[in-house]
A = this chain, B = another copy of it.
Amino acid sequence: MQSHRLPTLEDVARVAGVSRATVSRVVNGIRNVDPQLHELVWTAVEQTGYVPNKMARSLVTRRTGTVALVVSDSETHDDDPFMSRFFADPYFGRVVGGLMSVLRPASVQLALQMVGADGHKRLVGDLRNGQADGAVVLSLPARDPLPGLLADARIPAVLIGRPADPVPISYVDLANETGAALAADRLAARGCRQIGMISGPADVPASQDRITGFRRATARHGHAWVPTASGNFTQESGERAMRSLLAGHPQLDGVFVANDLMALGALLVLRDAGRRVPEDVAVVGFDDSSAALAARPALTTVRHPLEDMAAEAAKLLLVRVEDPDARVSSVIYEPTLVVRQSA
């Protein structure tokens, strides 16, 4: 055992009494090798404890076996005002779990990349020369320029969530309008007469879709106008929105909340206001996150199969990495209503 240097292909070759090329072939599982040598090389590999140097390999193959999960926040990241909020949200974990479920079996690494508006150019540059083979993009802000930059640079990428502006990049998304309609139907079926809504930020596509989907469906049910308050997807903002909604419309008897976290907040406020759920006011959430089950009463909510969607995104990306000219293809998931106690 020498002091510090790790065994290289060269060392293995020397031990096995063959050339570097042969060892390389064996290690990479190339067929055209004499079974005799094949055996010989493997034992030499075991004996030396050789493990391929990914850096060197990547340098020549131009493949890293890594994909980046880029979390794009268009605002400059001075401090971490959004990070804590974002990471604490079950959303992040569910996405990571879904990605890993397909990346791990494929032996590809996941590298986390947070980037603000100031980091777009840098990120694209790094990606272009092989930081990662591709990227799954979690684009938080509306009108994020990043997807466009990635497309221009011809970097294999898949978006989670439809981009605000059309961009030639594959994405996976939920049929948000349909989901919101499901919620509206439920509320209508319960016989709610005064329906309200707590929406997400007005500039996020997913949020917009839920708003239009809900309005369209309630209109169909004869509700011309739906009082709406908006939040930013946090529980606290949900509380605020519910309070304002209740203040303006005391006889509200049904409310659709654009995500479970805000719905949790709404539930708290309703309770404090002495309203029983669902008897006095029915509440339906969105996402079917773990929060929905923990809520009291348990939340009737629109199931958002985020893990499946993330897994699909990973698959799409892997395909695209194999074949950069693969057709841009997106898949839209259909939401379902999960009925529990709140509506």
Contact = CB atoms under 8 A, between A and B. Distances in A.
B290 A129 contact: no
B83 A100 contact: yes
Contacts of A330: none
A113 B97 CA distance: 12
Contacts of A51: 122, 125-126, 128-129
A104 interface: yes
A94 B100 contact: no
Count class of interface residues, chain A: 35 or more
A271 interface: yes
A287 to B, nearest CB: 12
Contact of A53 (B92, B129, B291): B129
A92 B294 CA distance: 18
A268 interface: yes
Interface in A83-106: 83-84, 86-90, 92-94, 96-97, 100-101, 104
A291 B290 CA distance: 10
A66 B90 CA distance: 25
Contacts of A54: 126, 129-131
Given A87-B97, A88-B94, A93-B93, A114 B125 contact: no
Given A52-B129, A83-B101, 13 more contacts: A51-B129, A55-B64, A66-B111, A83-B100, A84-B307, A88-B90, A88-B94, A88-B97, A93-B93, A104-B114, A109-B111, A110-B111, A235-B290
Interface of A: 6, 49, 51-56, 58-59, 64, 66, 77, 80, 83-84, 86-90, 92-94, 96-97, 100-101, 104, 109-114, 122, 125-126, 128-131, 235, 264, 267-268, 271, 290-291, 293-296, 307
